[in-house]
Amino acid sequence: MCAAKILFELTGSIAAWKACAVISRLVQDGHEVQTIATAAALQFIGPATLEGLTGRRVRSDMWDRGTAMDHINLVKWADVVVVCPATANTINKLAAGLADDLVGALFLAHDWKKPFLLAPAMNPAMWAHPATRAGVEKLRGWGVKILPVARGRLACGDEGEGRMIEPEEILAAIRESLAPSAVGRVTPRGASVDVAGSVTRPTAKPHRRVLVTAGGTEEPIDGVRTLTNFSTGRTGALLAEHLRAWGCDVTLLRAHRATPPPAGVRGETFVTFADLRGALERLLGGEHFDAVVHAAAVSDYAVAGLRVNGQPLPPGAGKLGTEQKIAIELAPNPKLVDHLRAWSRNPELRVIAFKLTREADAAAARAAVEKLFAHSRADAVVHNDLAAVDAATGRFPATLWRADGTSTALESREALAHAIATLIADNERGGAGAPPSTLTRERRSQEGPAPAGPCAPDEARDPRAEHSPNH
């Protein structure tokens, strides 16, 4: 990625400390960053902090000597504009076209051939207020890319939707906006800009429908015992929430004990491998889905039979006594991910698979990912290693591999959700599942401690499951 000129505008929210983490990483990446801070933002973050991070003087007052034309010149200078954090006040002022401060004046002078990103941060009641909702939709219609908000506990003590997403996710959105393929990417909604700068309005895109699987299967041993794993389905539920926030119509197919679907997401449940298989066949064959995110922890084995004191018994019935000698026969389950496209009524179905390893070195992890690509023909594979997941700190490193062999390293569930949402939003499917024989790393490093996301880490699970442990 080439170095870019980034105009970074901060408004008055306690989430401004997260914005400093984003600015630091952008500068480390080699970009030029010019900060704009409202008077309210400077109540949370001092100018010395921003100047120390960027090496540039903070701009704040439109009437400072020698800055009268900043609202024009800075727009011409910048390759991308980011408002982070964006308060309810800022969103509604921008939507009203007010230019009584530098942030508002810069917005009215914005060149819409350049990306304009906005990361909201506010109390849940303010985020849900009709004025804010209307302002968000108006800005989105003008071409502003509104980043999703997260759900969780806010500084005021309230729980809900409205907190700013994590720095990793904001970084990913900025990097995406700077991608060479995104020429003139931000325009009034429904329009596109070609290399020459001409604006065209393509036909409206169909509403994307996504099926997410989550949680672990249970294979009955007797009437009260099962063979299962520790998966809670939290990662799948978080993915469903982010995809919904990005405008997708999401169905969460989850284990019956797994994390329930968030608001606005349709939910269905399964217990056994057979239940999950039947639900996938029914949903994919009966409805149109554009993508499947197959994050469920599917057991590799089913209980094929029991021998109790040497006598055969069918599994799943009664209750085995504690004094009996029991032998359990296991039989391998087929890989459901291999059949998703065959079951789907949509021949262009995009498939995102998950792969778990345990204490695997780089070569072993590479081989496991290549093998999954080869038999599943997936469009992308999310790989994580059980040994690297830290329930105490919330560390959840994962790598999103694409079929062309490139990859993105991610350090949190939130960053993973953003990466998958971006992948699904892409119109063009590459060649389905070409195994990444060279596996070149297009690493977007997510180093450094990240604040805890809206979901707590899951426990490690039985490595016999088919997919990743913390779903």
pLDDT digits (tens, 9 = 90+) for 255-264: 998 988 887 7
What dihedral angle (degrees, nearest 10) is formed by the CA atoms of 276, 282, 287, 293?
Answer: 20
CA–CA separation, 28 and 53 (whole Å): 10
Q: Dihedral sign for Cα 247, 252, 258, 262, please.
A: positive
**What pLDDT is stored for residue 392 in this prediction?**
60
Output the six-digit token pair for 324.
């009996």
Catalytic residue (one of 20, 84, 156, 248): 156
**% of the chain surpassing 90 pLDDT:** 50
Instruction: Give the Cβ contact number of residue 68 at 10 Å.
Output: 11
Confidence at 20, pLDDT banded by 50, 70, 90: very high
Of the spans 338-352, 359-373, 422-436, which averages the highest pLDDT? 338-352
**What pLDDT is stored for residue 8 in this prediction?**
97
Q: Does the pLDDT at position 198 exceed 80? A: no
215 burial level (CB within 10 Å; 0-12, 13-18, 19+): buried
Confidence at 417, pLDDT banded by 50, 70, 90: confident
Mean pLDDT of 412-417: 80
**What pLDDT is stored for residue 144 in this prediction?**
93
405 burial level (CB within 10 Å; 0-12, 13-18, 19+): middle
Task: Please tell me whether residue 268 adopts helix, strand or coil conformation.
Answer: strand
List beta partners, residue 118. Answer: 83, 146
What dihedral angle (degrees, nearest 10) is formed by the CA atoms of 222, 226, 227, 230?
Answer: -170
Kindly report the CA angle at 438 between 434 and 441, in degrees rounded to 5?
A: 105
**What pLDDT is stored for residue 393 in this prediction?**
62
The amino acid occupying position 417 is A
* Per-residue pLDDT reduced to its tens digit, 156-182: 778 788 889 888 889 888 988 886 534
20 is catalytic: no
How many Cα atoms sit within 13 Å of 76 on the Cβ side?
5
Confidence at 428, pLDDT banded by 50, 70, 90: very low
CA–CA separation, 193 and 416 (whole Å): 29
pTM here? 0.52
CA–CA separation, 343 and 211 (whole Å): 13
Q: Which domains does the chain have, with CATH numbers?
A: 5-200 (3.40.50.1950), 209-425 (3.40.50.10300)
Least confident of 43-57, 125-139, 241-255, 263-277: 241-255
* Residue 430: partners with Cβ closer than 8 Å, 6 or more residues away: 379, 402, 403, 404
* Residue 52: partners with Cβ closer than 8 Å, 6 or more residues away: none
